[in-house]
A and B are shown apart, each in its own frame.
Chain A
Amino acid sequence: MSAPLVIFDKVQKTFGDFVAVKELDFEIREGEFLAIMGPSGCGKTTTLRMLAGLEAPSVGEIRLNGEIMNDVAPHERDTPLVWQSLALFPFLTARENVEFGLKMRGVDKAERKERALKWLGKMGILEFADRDISTLSGGQKQRVALARSLVMEPQILLLDEPLSALDAHLVIRMQAVLTDLQRELGITFVYVTHSQSEAFAMADRVVIMGNGEIAQIGSPKDIYRAPANQFVAEFVGRNNILSGTVTKLTDDTARITTPSGEFTVPTNDVLLIEGHTASFVISADLVHISIDKPVGDNAAKCKLISEEFVGSMVTLFLEDAQGHEFKVQMQERELSKFDLNSGDEIWLSWDTSSAHVLNEG
């Protein structure tokens, strides 16, 4: 495997007393689609801005192609950024916007025009080349912003929540445009977002950040099915988290006693000690419901509180006798067989293999 494209080597960033990034130690591989995800204020945008040279790390080194980038001015880097606000130049036409970077690099007029038109064509907005930016729609502006960065033919493209201003149906379309582009160009995309659906839909690897630190790095599937810790489990949502005391250990399973009952979980090489506390999660979509008490190790009796429909999927919010919240995600047509009303009591159950023990907490 080739050397990583970008290395964050023990990078810290403080603004006065405020610690934006505590310690970052990770690599970005060449040609991958990496998403950096976290709640607002977690340091994800600061991380991206450091990569673009708009902020300088307080401690540590950022290396691009093995070169230390700490003191390289933003305009001397080749790290174009697609901004959350798009930051298109309002006094220029679409084509002039796309040409801007080439003009700054001293590319001559004829070549500038040719390359700009090529990229506008690639993004499917050639007909708007000479239009004022203010006359374009949100989706069209988005494409101009992408063309403006990609016309520089960079090794790495940075994207800072570029889809957050778009309508839901456009977001899905643009996600497809972005993944296709990344695959076709083979360049590295670093995509910052707070949206789990965007990150999971597009990225090869996801970095989850919280409080200026990396909480987990992994493929979307790893993070979804096997969150490393409580923070990730809570952030990734639609997870049921249970904490209790380890009461019995066997080779590959553990019995954990929680206020909501006693459950069996696979240990998955996590070091568990009898008598100590442990937490585990079950994805909401792996929980079954039944009216009668099911057979098996893992069951809890709950009262239905509310339902949330998203298309054909429905999420049930429930509470057990101790007031602990449970979530169940299922197909609407499955649920309709049950004829439930809020306040009804039902049984939740899941396979032992569905549970996942957390490393900490």
Chain B
Amino acid sequence: MKANRTLNVILGIYVALIFVFVFAPIIFSMIFSFNSQRFPTIPLGEFSTEWYAKILADPDVWEAALNSLIVSTSTAVIATFLGFCTAYSDYRYNFRFKGPYLALILLPPTIPLIIMALAMLAWFSKIGMSGQLYSIVIAHSVLTAPFAMAVIRLRLNQMDPDLEAAAWNLGGSEWATMRHVIIPFCKPAIFSGLFLTAAVSFDEFAVSWFVSGLNKTLPVIILEIVQGNIDPQVNAIGTFVFLISMTLVVLAQVFFASRQLKSTRT
């Protein structure tokens, strides 16, 4: 018992350190976003919302925010739809080359983003689809669909294999069963998938930067500001992006956890 406790303390410290490493820069960025001084130094200057006022007055930032909103929302819907379809085809059917089929679908997140981005750019310019907002949506959908699929697949695996047949047995056609049984059962996972893919898309930088052309998203505009000079505006935008992403991820987790809870009860 005693050894166990020491181990727990050590593990606790370890986890705390990880959190410090991950969140310390973000927290500092947040603190400096309210700092009146131009350079991030300690001691801090006065509390100020100057940088927030500045970005709110900047039409470029507004446009980038709108672009990000459009891209992440569209991506979430498309990627979750694709993810659901692949997860369901995996659950329902057995066919030749199913292994390669699944591997192919799960591949995009394993490719280094920069390579993915370059390949996307080359391909889109070849077929005349580069530099548009929808180019980012397409690229992000490919990139994030596997996340949605993974979440929905987990949920489908928890489903009683007789449930679908039970609906047929009670007079439900295949489509009616999809609508009244499969989708309601997967609903928490579908929401989880929507928020997760939106979060990944919202703060993805490399692919957006390559294929976006003149349509900048928030992460792209952050880089542009940083490239120019040191500007605390970045901290303000960064804080904003971080809070949105975090909210999306937390929402995804909430839906994920709620279904875990429910399935342990049943």
Contact = CB atoms under 8 A, between A and B. Distances in A.
Interface residues of A, number: 27
A87 B160 contact: yes
Range class of the B interface residue count = 20 to 34
A268 interface: no
Interface in A120-151: 133-134, 148-149
A101 interface: yes
Nearest to B176: A104
Interface string B155-179: 0000010110111111111001000
B162 A87 contact: yes
Interface string A50-63: 00101000000000
B183 to A, nearest CB: 10
A75 B167 CA distance: 8
B171 A104 contact: yes
B165 A54 contact: yes
Contact of B160 (A52, A79, A85, A104): A85
Q: Which of B160, B171, B172, B185 has the most CB of A within 10 A?
A: B171
A75 B172 contact: yes
A85 B162 contact: yes
Interface string B133-166: 0000000000000000000000000001011011
A311 interface: no
A134 B266 contact: yes
A113 to B, nearest CB: 17
B124 to A, nearest CB: 41
A105 interface: yes
By CB atoms of chain B within 10 A, which of A73, A81, A84 has the most?
A81
A74 interface: yes
B169 A74 contact: yes
Contacts of B184: 89, 91-92
Contacts of A54: 165, 168-169
A92 B167 CA distance: 13
Contacts of B172: 75, 100, 104
A90 B170 contact: no
A90 B168 contact: no
B163 to A, nearest CB: 5
B181 interface: yes
B126 interface: no
Given A134-B265, A134-B266, A87 B171 contact: no
Contacts of B180: 100, 103-104
Given A85-B160, A90-B266, A134-B262, A52 B181 contact: no
Instruction: Sort A-B residue pairs by CB-CB distance and give the 9 closest, nearest first.
Output: A101-B170, A87-B166, A104-B171, A87-B162, A134-B266, A74-B168, A104-B172, A134-B265, A75-B168
12 contacts: A54-B168, A74-B165, A74-B169, A75-B173, A83-B166, A85-B160, A85-B162, A87-B166, A89-B163, A100-B172, A104-B170, A134-B265
Interface of A: 52, 54, 73-76, 79-81, 83-85, 87, 89-92, 100-101, 103-105, 133-134, 148-149, 152
